[in-house]
Amino acid sequence: MTTEPNTSTGIRFAVPDDAPTAARLQVEFAVEFDSPTPSREVLTPRFRALIADASAFVLFAGAPPEPQGYAVVTLRPTVYCDGPLAVLDELYVGPGLRGAGIGTALLEHAIAEVRRRGGGEMHINVDEDDVDARRFYERQGFVNIEPGTDYRMLCYIREL
């Protein structure tokens, strides 16, 4: 893994010192979509630990020091494939930059990195009423119907 930006897309891997930037983007994302989120002060050490963990990575889009988009991916072992199962925990592009292919570039880089790590599957949770995000992921080949069935998959959550 390299932390150098891909000059054709401006995508780069975050390093632990980028944690404040990841926290800023997470808060901007939550504020825009009126979602609860911890403060930047709480998120920064969490992102620092996540970025340093080999079972996760964060990608930034845009020029440092203030990228305007990011993707957060975590990986875990699974019985369904030999490599890890990836979860795209977050994908966000600032409102003024949407529609320019930045989200697609972030997602493609995330998928390429998961494949490089031997991953066999990526999961994404999307709110049912977020039609734009659902449309975006469906254009990228993601489905919410298990192949061979005609019913939707659902994600259940319980805070502990």
Task: Give the model confidence (pLDDT) of 16-57 as tens digits.
Answer: 999 999 999 999 999 998 899 999 999 999 999 999 999 999
Continuous H helices in 2-159 = 19-32, 40-52, 102-116, 131-139
Q: Sketch the domain layout of the chain as residue ranges.
A: 11-139
Question: If you average pLDDT over residues 90-115, what whole number do you get?
Answer: 94
Confidence at 62, pLDDT banded by 50, 70, 90: confident
Give percent above pLDDT 90 in the chain. Answer: 69
Q: Is 86 left (phi over 0), alpha (psi -120 to 50) or beta?
A: beta
Q: pTM for the whole thing?
A: 0.89
Please give the pLDDT value at position 5. 45
**Topology (CATH) of 11-139:** Aminopeptidase (3.40.630)
Q: Are 71 and 58 a contacting pair, CB within 8 Å?
A: yes
Task: Say how many CA atoms lie within 13 Å of 102 toward its Cβ.
Answer: 23
Q: What are phi and psi of 150, to 5 degrees?
A: -125, 25
Neighbouring CB atoms inside 10 A of 84's CB total 20
Q: Is 156 left (phi over 0), alpha (psi -120 to 50) or beta?
A: beta
